[in-house]
Structure 1
């Protein structure tokens, strides 16, 4: 994609923010990871691997510095570097990379991850104590049960520290051995104070995961890929459940999956606007809820130079 396309996209996002009355966005589901890991992820999407199951062109296949500058130009005040291991021995290394990335990238909330393995509680504690703001748990790619006994101390620690965990636990785009609401129901029964954020609104088991958020006041859901034309084609959100989204307006958070999306960034924003749940709801989802979750409004501004695309 050339500079012209990027300028047009930046303008489209700016127009959205102006319409809605939002000076900034908070996006809790964006991906930054070590280059060789990201290249493997992109190759997997390019090959339409079994967990993807369909053609999935990556829209923002740019260098890291360009991706960072683009988010800043979009007005994204804070975002994450969601990363995740698919085998033992990776998570500690990924956490080290993410800590270093957040340290040199002012807009990025320091992100960490884990895997059921020996020593997991120690490195999760280390990450929390040294400033991790959010964790990613990918039950589909990691193919592990969140109720694995090696993780019990981890969930307890994260609940106690009130650090949110974005969890890919729905069965979209393809089911895994431990996806679906069952394992998460069991987890929350044991750790009811866990700040679990259900990625992708729990796609396609939307209503099951909405029910869990209605039951547990610390549970939230992110919007990643939900309502987009791409997702509605294979996992449509049930129209009759829209009122429940409105009722949970303080716990729905903007997520996008940038840069690994098969459409422009602004499309995710416009489809949320298209739900017509009101300006207050949209502002809360796209900024207020995330800002509150991470204590951004009372603290130091997170910003990065985004003038490259302005």
Structure 2
């Protein structure tokens, strides 16, 4: 059954929850968010399908939308596409979180001189989750300049959401191989593989052999994504077995459908209410150290 946005609070209340924890939400400085939206405006040419932004509204209205849905905690995931952006995005994200109830301070990095220093500063100032976008950044996560960064995040046990999958379009360094090599070098890293690793679902699920690897649900299993990169139903039981490693992600506001569609997709797996409770609240709360 499709969950409409107005029905989302009743949905999580039925599960006995106090709300939702969403680990994959984006807020960015206006000029950066506008550039992201302009990119998606060209989705028909890039991806072969339109990608209208469902929540293309001012920041304060987006925050009210999350509050009405019952999203109690979320990061404002930021990410750079070129050198020289990450440090000031980290400052912006910390200031945004400090002024925004429910927002967990987030950070990012890029393979550039000084990355280890500004990541160390971010950790010291309370950043609790990082975001890496291998396809947008067009860099190799195995770059030697990032080795200290991965080591810092491993030691701090701070999660990093990694878009390593080749969806919606492949990049030079996407796929499970490059990030898999990072994990081989830093096996205790708390990695959160975005989008269930689409479209390399099985290969990314296999990376949960590392003890702290999680996957977020962002856009996966929804009708929009199933039309492009369907999730093999033979892997559904594997998701059930990983009930403590799957976390709710949405990609709000940059989604071409209502927020409730993601919850409907998760419920359609028929993995039970305990699984939904863990995915939609407990696991995310643990990762974000709430």
| Of 68, 89, 94, the match for 1:94 | 89
Instruction: Tell whether 2:53 aligns with 1:77.
Output: no
For residue 273 of structure 2, what is the aligned residue in structure 1? Answer: 279
Q: CA deviation at 1:20?
A: 2.4
| Of 195, 199, 204, the match for 1:200 | 195
For residue 35 of structure 1, what is the aligned residue in structure 2? Answer: 30
For residue 283 of structure 2, what is the aligned residue in structure 1? Answer: 289
Instruction: Tell whether 2:129 aligns with 1:130.
Output: no
Counterpart-to-counterpart distance in 1, 2:36 and 2:180: 29
Tell me, yes or no, if the aligned pair for 2:13 and 2:19 is still in contact at 8 Å.
no
Q: CA deviation at 1:43?
A: 0.6
SS for the counterpart of 2:43 is: coil
Q: Which runs of 5+ in 2 are unaligned?
A: none
Counterpart-to-counterpart distance in 2, 1:22 and 1:235: 31
Counterpart-to-counterpart distance in 1, 2:219 and 2:8: 16
SS for the counterpart of 2:142 is: coil
| Of 247, 252, 261, the match for 1:253 | 247
Tell me, yes or no, if the aligned pair for 2:44 and 2:50 is still in contact at 8 Å.
no
Q: What TM-score comes out, normalization by structure 1 length?
A: 0.91
Q: Which runs of 5+ in 1 are unaligned?
A: 1-7, 297-310
Indicate the RMSD between aligned Cα atoms, in angstroms: 1.3
Q: CA deviation at 1:10?
A: 4.4
Q: CA deviation at 1:53?
A: 4.5
SS for the counterpart of 1:154 is: helix
Aligned length: 288
Q: CA deviation at 1:220?
A: 0.2
For residue 149 of structure 2, what is the aligned residue in structure 1? Answer: 154
Instruction: Tell whether 2:172 aligns with 1:184.
Output: no
The verdict on how the C-alpha distance between 1:156 and 1:49 changes in structure 2, with shifts beyond 3 A counting, is farther
For residue 140 of structure 2, what is the aligned residue in structure 1? Answer: 145
Q: CA deviation at 1:57?
A: 0.3
Q: What TM-score comes out, normalization by structure 2 length?
A: 0.97
The verdict on how the C-alpha distance between 1:281 and 1:190 changes in structure 2, with shifts beyond 3 A counting, is same
| Of 228, 234, 247, the match for 1:234 | 228
Aligned structure 1 segments of 4 or more residues deviating by more than 4 angstroms: 49-53
Tell me, yes or no, if the aligned pair for 2:116 and 2:149 is still in contact at 8 Å.
yes
For residue 103 of structure 1, what is the aligned residue in structure 2? Answer: 98
The verdict on how the C-alpha distance between 1:273 and 1:9 changes in structure 2, with shifts beyond 3 A counting, is closer
SS for the counterpart of 1:289 is: helix
Instruction: Tell whether 2:81 aligns with 1:117.
Output: no
Tell me, yes or no, if the aligned pair for 1:223 and 1:254 is still in contact at 8 Å.
yes
The verdict on how the C-alpha distance between 1:201 and 1:260 changes in structure 2, with shifts beyond 3 A counting, is same
Q: CA deviation at 1:51?
A: 5.7
Instruction: Tell whether 2:51 aligns with 1:59.
Output: no
